[in-house]
Amino acid sequence: MLQELNFLLESYPFPIWEGLLRILLAMFLGSIIGLERERRKQPAGFRTHAVLALGSSLLSIVSIYIPTVYGTGVNVDPSRIASQVVSGIGFLGAGAILRMGVSVKGLTTAASLWTTAGIGLAVGAGMYSLSVFSTLVLLIVLSLMSKFEKEFLSKKSKTVKVVAQELSGVFEELSKVLEEGNVFKIERREGLVEVYYEVPYEPEELSLKLKELSKAGGILSVEVI
């Protein structure tokens, strides 16, 4: 009976417990990255990063397993699966990128997804030290350097609330008058549209911009909040 079930016993180049550990470690590292993105209310958060790292690790193990079982002939390339993961992850990154008027959101999250896939592949290949180190560096870039960027690199910004009758034409007026800044929220209430625009102008310059913007057609009110 046992001999008949021998086909169920895979032949790995490492102990089976180590393969399980690689998958769990990859999921753990991915979930840590996902928690940071979830905390910042990004479209791809905890579960997405965890599942992505888990899947990448599994595919990395598969790419190692195939040459071990089927040999290293001309049709067996251990790097083929890994390379397809790196290129195929683009559809997830595209889903995390949001275009709101003249602004684009989610580029950092898309990059973190791509990097998380690389970490999962590295864990699956048994590169534990580099995987943990890469996770720590990525977390530093996403959290600590984000604060540094806002404090020292970004201009002090103001939020402008624009109330209009309809959405069409509002973005054109905003981008034409408020040459710098970006839309970060849009709400519809009682037949009106509220557009929230973040701008880096100084008070005097912003005041002139708001006066010009309030004269645009279809815009009912403009205020700094």
- Work out the pLDDT band at 24, boundaries 50, 70, 90: very high
Q: Is residue 1 one of the residues assigned to a domain?
A: no
Q: Is residue 112 one of the residues assigned to a domain?
A: yes
DSSP track, 163-223:
EES-STTHHHHHHHHS-S-EEEEEEEETTEEEEEEEE---HHHHHHHHHHHHTSTTEEEEE
Structural domain ending residue among the three candidates 153, 170, 198: 153
Residue 98: predicted pLDDT: 61
The answer on 169 and 147 residing in a single domain is no
Q: Mind listing the pLDDT tens digit for each residue in 51-105?
A: 999 999 999 988 888 777 776 655 667 677 777 887 778 777 776 666 544 445 6
Dist. CA 127–CA 137, nearest whole Å: 16
Other CB atoms within 10 A of residue 224 CB: 13
Dist. CA 60–CA 25, nearest whole Å: 13
Domain containing 75 equals: 10-153
Token pair belonging to 171: 């973005």
Residue 203: predicted pLDDT: 65
Token pair belonging to 177: 């008058």
The answer on 76 and 111 residing in a single domain is yes
